[in-house]
Structure 1
Amino acid sequence: MLNRALKNVVLPLVLFPALTALALKYTLARVPTTSLALKLKDGCASQPGSPYALSYTGHLKVDGVLCRLVTFFHTTMDDDLGLQFLAYFIGTGAILALLPVMEASRSRKSPLLAFPLLWLLASQVFTLGATMTVYALAFILTGAHRKGTKEQKEITQAYAESIIFALLVGAVAPSLCLVMLKDPQVTALWQIYPVFMSIAGAIHLLIRPPSKVAGSGWTSIQVLLLGIFILSSSLHFATVWPLINEPANIQQLLIPSIAPLPSSASPALAALDFLQWDYVFAFVSLMLVSFWFAQSVIQFFALLVWYIVATPVVGPGAALAGVFLWREAQLH
């Protein structure tokens, strides 16, 4: 009993809040000391010629927040390296948006995890990395990591279909528009992609309600996770392997700076560093959560070896998708 309390209560209460603090330190807390802060301020000045100071909603304060977010993303997308990493982030990070929605669709779930819209919207405001560390803590403390019975953990076919539809319509389509159109209005709309996901999922459930679509959605979830694995690994191959003989370029593209960037660093470089740290903390949090799925020491070390090998070979998105595919098989 004591060991269980240490594992499921004490350890997560120490580990994940520390990760939250580090995530905020290496993302939001760094911005004021970089040239990015001045770029965000100037880009949202109420003066003619400021391209992102638009009337997005008609509400002054909301428009001010959206303007800074739009400026940040366009600062990233206007730089070739930043655009490449943003596309990599979104493509391989699809699993990060999927997992809260999947967990909320189970037959039995905690109220803390039942509203993925709130978690995903929080990730847009407080950074994805910091939000996922808090989500990871809630995941463990509510016992969502426990195997339970098949009936408790099942995702029905109706909900599985709605998840796929919500991901495609509410996340994939807006994200493609974000990186391809590079339009400030589209970028502002992308900030609420979780709302689009929620609406799309609700519409699908209205058309094909659980009362009319019987059966387990295990096969559909399996296909979805396998598809994400293929997409993430393919994007990782396309991004990293052409640079395999250029480790300095791989480091510049994917690995953030531990030391604060000098104030002379360009706003684009500061924005890239921000996104790189955001990516790292989001994936590290959910990878750590997955170790609670292990039912034995052998499974624990198998997961550790998998991440060590798979992360550089197929990428963190595919590595995490593979583990959650294994977990769904265990639950099924």
Structure 2
Amino acid sequence: MATPKSSTKPAMTTHSFPPSRQWVVYMVFPALAALATWYMRLGPAAEALASYFGLIMEPKPFFFPDSDIQLRRTYVGIDALDTFLSFLVAAFLPGAAGLNKAFQLQQLHFLFSFLPVLATWSVEAARQGSAWKIISFTSFWSLFYQTVGGAIFIPLWYLAFLLTTSRTVYGANNSNHPVPLPQAKALIPALLIGYVVPTTLMYLPFLGIETQQFMVALWQPAPLFVNGLWAVGSWISAGTERPEQNKKNSEKYVKAVYLLSGVVSAIVHLGVMWTCLTSDNPAVNLGEVLVPVERSTWGMATSLLFVFQVDFWVIMAAGLVAAWVVVWDVHHLGLADVGTGKIVAVTIVVAVVLGPGAAISGVWYWREGKLRQAVPRGKR
């Protein structure tokens, strides 16, 4: 007797866009990465920076332009690593030390707005369905985005996320989407200690310029600190949980991660916006802090400001596009009654008022709740 064909449809491995439109959405991310590569590594600002950084290679003290601050050369006592860290410190210190006030505000805004991106990556990497997928190796990704450029590699992570995540994460068989409870509980302390604290320490002027340069160097592997602390915290938490609990009740902790990262990002955003709007310094305004503008002459600080502005906007654009995709999925897979247009409008308003980092956190917070509504409306 012939075996009847199963009526069960195979799991769909693409998102809910029509096939003819998927490639258009996906191409946004490599396009953003290419744009960042041009402006951050090949454009006029990058050429100007190359001349300044060439001076760092010379065997003599390097003083930051228009200041008496000398670049620190020793951090860990290993020559090759100290040289590498010197370049990174030279790129960050004009902002961290306030040698250019607009750059300082932009950098502060950027680094705290990045917290929701780091939180999102961590959560999605920890999902059971992400095990051994390329998106789960966040330490590997961080080595590239921390050294070569976030805007060059972060859009590619989002592309990998969209290509490797399955619509079944939203469907009736939702076994792939939980974050194990020990990891969910340990993520907030890891983000606070591994990222928020080192970022804050970079901007404390009373530490002295030598110590401040060390703090800038210490910040560079912050995403690795997060992962290391997270692994230890998860191991400790796992020892206190009953095995049957490990796959349950993680939603509130994951949502707390998004809430915390969104609140921190929003507070810094509001503080920077207030400073720009009330400052008596003519060089400190919203346009100078937020808008990348090519110049006829490039100083070291203005070149770095431009590069960091491009870095910020490309990363935030990639994060917001990915957020729009998951909103589309949640709606069109029957898990939300609200239209995508309304969510997009709300996201834009939140991005303007509370910052793009807070908007990204808000979308993923909303999505996390919808993941628990595993069965589409028509099948309930």
Match of 2:164 in 1: 142
Percent of pairs with identical residues: 23
Does the 8 A contact of 2:56 with 2:62 survive in 1?
Answer: no
The alpha-carbon distance between structure 1 residues 223 and 14, as it changes in their structure 2 partners (threshold 3 A), is closer
Show CA shifts across 1:32-60 (max 9, x none): 432x3333222443224663352334444
Match of 2:9 in 1: none
- 2:295 pairs, out of 261, 265, 269, with 261
In structure 2, C-alpha distance between the alignment counterparts of 1:115 and 1:130, rounded to whole Å? 17
Whose Rg is larger?
Answer: 2
- 2:195 pairs, out of 171, 179, 198, with 171
CA shift at 1:195, angstroms? Answer: 1.7
Letter in 1 for 2:351: T
My pick for the range that moved more, 173-182 or 275-284, is: 173-182
Q: Aligned-residue CA RMSD in angstroms?
A: 2.6
The alpha-carbon distance between structure 1 residues 235 and 185, as it changes in their structure 2 partners (threshold 3 A), is closer
In structure 2, C-alpha distance between the alignment counterparts of 1:44 and 1:97, rounded to whole Å? 32
Match of 2:119 in 1: 98
My pick for the range that moved more, 272-281 or 248-257, is: 248-257
Normalized per residue, the structure richer in helix is 1
Q: Structure 2 unaligned runs (5+)?
A: 1-11, 64-69, 333-337, 373-380
- 2:229 pairs, out of 197, 200, 207, with 200
In structure 2, C-alpha distance between the alignment counterparts of 1:83 and 1:28, rounded to whole Å? 21
Show CA shifts across 1:132-175 (max 9, x none): 11011101111257524443111132111221121011111111
Does the 8 A contact of 1:154 with 1:216 survive in 2?
Answer: no
Match of 2:4 in 1: none
In structure 1, C-alpha distance between the alignment counterparts of 2:60 and 2:93, rounded to whole Å? 18
Match of 1:17 in 2: 30
Match of 2:67 in 1: none
Q: Moved runs in structure 1, 4+ residues, more than 6 A?
A: 245-248
- 1:118 pairs, out of 130, 137, 140, with 140
In structure 2, C-alpha distance between the alignment counterparts of 1:125 and 1:159, rounded to whole Å? 27
Q: How many residues align?
A: 327
Asked if 1:320 is matched to 2:360, the reply is yes
Match of 1:300 in 2: 340
Show CA shifts across 1:99-132 (max 9, x none): 1111111121151111111122221012111111
In structure 1, C-alpha distance between the alignment counterparts of 2:166 and 2:227, rounded to whole Å? 21
Asked if 1:221 is matched to 2:254, the reply is yes
The alpha-carbon distance between structure 1 residues 210 and 117, as it changes in their structure 2 partners (threshold 3 A), is farther
Q: Structure 1 unaligned runs (5+)?
A: none
CA shift at 1:245, angstroms? Answer: 8.0
Does the 8 A contact of 2:115 with 2:357 survive in 1?
Answer: yes
Does the 8 A contact of 2:121 with 2:138 survive in 1?
Answer: yes
TM-score (norm 1): 0.89
Which SS does the other structure have where 2:292 is aligned? Answer: coil
The alpha-carbon distance between structure 1 residues 231 and 58, as it changes in their structure 2 partners (threshold 3 A), is closer
In structure 1, C-alpha distance between the alignment counterparts of 2:163 and 2:91, rounded to whole Å? 34
